[in-house]
């Protein structure tokens, strides 16, 4: 069973609020730090971070002194910089590393979350291989998230024996730490590979995302790729309200609306 990263409770929320208001003691206080604001690029001075349990209750210059009591572990970070844990948003851990060896280096570099493909091990060992790999990653001190493999290849034998069935796909997609379908190729999508299109549809219908490669696709081929994947382009009844548009064969949208990011 996957660990739950997103669950909370009213009691937990109440405890965090009390720490932020100085009505309860934090477990850990990181004081006098320079804090990196990763959204603005600012380096904020004299910051205090209050932690209760596994969550941050307060970040700022005016932390309530009453939240730092006799039971609070206070870390003096004067002269040091505090940053959020980094997220490695796209990796292929399954074909290059043992997870327990990788995390020893990831943690040293402040990476605390890793999103990995499972296509390599899926193409060799199928569903059971993917499940075994995911279980190994869940036992690590950093958070792993996964995309399931489309397993579309030129070898009919490999595709026959290693492709996920719809039942196996659905079981994986029900896992909280499985984010969606791993990278699919625009050429294979546009060739209307029947099992791949069914897999894409099943992934999107489950509320998960589809990752993919569009390098080399332009104009009509690019648009066909996005239509097949179904989640970038707005429905017809949304077009008048959408901030997104297509320019020079590239998708552009206002990032504040959660759409595709503007090309650099």
Query: What domains does the chain contain, in order, with CATH numbers?
Result: 13-82 (2.30.40.10), 86-233 (3.20.20.140)
CA nearest neighbour of 153 among 126, 171, 130, 133: 126
Q: In this model, does residue 219 exceed pLDDT 80?
A: yes
Average pLDDT, integer, range 60-79: 96
In the beta sheet, which residues pair with residue 2? Answer: none
Q: Is 186 helix (H, G, I), strand (E, B) or coil?
A: helix
Q: In this model, does residue 212 exceed pLDDT 70?
A: yes
Query: Picking from 29-43, 54-68, 214-228, which range would have the lowest pLDDT averaged per residue?
Result: 214-228
Q: What is the pTM of this model?
A: 0.73
Q: What is the pLDDT of residues 141-186, one digit of tens each?
A: 999 999 998 865 656 666 666 677 888 989 999 999 999 998 888 8
pLDDT band, very low/low/confident/very high, at 36 (cuts 50, 70, 90): very high
Average pLDDT of the residues of the chain: 82
pLDDT band, very low/low/confident/very high, at 133 (cuts 50, 70, 90): very high
Higher per-residue pLDDT: 155 or 88 = 88
Q: What is the pLDDT of residues 196-211, one digit of tens each?
A: 888 888 898 998 988 8
Percentage above 90 pLDDT, the chain? 48
How many angstroms separate the first and last alpha carbons of the chain?
40
Q: In this model, does residue 92 exceed pLDDT 80?
A: yes
CA dihedral sign of residues 138, 144, 145, 147: negative
Higher per-residue pLDDT: 218 or 27 = 27
Tell me how far apart the alpha carbons of residues 217 and 190 are, in angstroms, rounded to a whole number. 10
Q: In this model, does residue 230 exceed pLDDT 60?
A: no
**What are the Cα distances from residue 130, in Å, to 120, 124, 135, 196?**
9, 10, 9, 18
Higher per-residue pLDDT: 125 or 26 = 26
Q: In this model, does residue 229 exceed pLDDT 60?
A: no
Q: Please state the φ and ψ torsions of residue 3, each to the nearest 5 degrees.
A: -70, 145
Q: What is the pLDDT of residues 97-111, one digit of tens each?
A: 889 999 999 999 899
Q: In this model, does residue 234 exceed pLDDT 50?
A: no
Q: What is the pLDDT of residue 216?
A: 85
């Amino acid at each position: 069973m996957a660990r739950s990263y997103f669950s909370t409770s009213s009691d937990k929320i109440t405890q965090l609020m009390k720490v932020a208001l100085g009505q309860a003691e934090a477990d850990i206080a990181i004081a006098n730090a320079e804090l990196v604001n990763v959204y603005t690029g600012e380096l904020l001075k004299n910051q205090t971070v209050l932690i209760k349990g596994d969550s941050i209750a307060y970040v700022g210059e005016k932390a309530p002194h009453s939240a730092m009591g006799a039971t609070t572990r206070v870390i003096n970070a004067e002269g040091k910089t505090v940053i959020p844990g980094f997220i490695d948003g796209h990796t292929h851990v399954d074909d290059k590393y043992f997870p327990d060896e990788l995390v020893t280096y990831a943690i040293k570099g402040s990476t605390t979350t890793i999103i990995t493909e499972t296509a390599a091990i899926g193409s060799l060992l199928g569903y059971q291989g993917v499940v075994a790999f995911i279980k190994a990653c869940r036992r690590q001190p950093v958070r792993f998230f996964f995309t399931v493999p489309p397993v579309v290849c030129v070898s009919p034998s490999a595709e026959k024996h290693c492709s996920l069935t719809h039942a196996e796909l659905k079981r994986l997609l029900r896992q909280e730490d499985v984010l969606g379908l791993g990278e699919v190729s625009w050429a294979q999508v546009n060739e209307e590979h029947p099992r791949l299109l069914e897999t894409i549809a099943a992934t999107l219908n489950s509320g998960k995302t589809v990752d993919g490669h569009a390098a080399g696709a332009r104009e009509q081929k690019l648009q066909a790729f996005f239509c097949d994947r179904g989640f970038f382009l707005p429905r017809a009844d949304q077009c008048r309200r959408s901030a997104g548009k297509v320019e020079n064969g590239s998708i552009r949208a206002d990032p504040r609306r959660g759409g595709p990011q503007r090309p650099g």
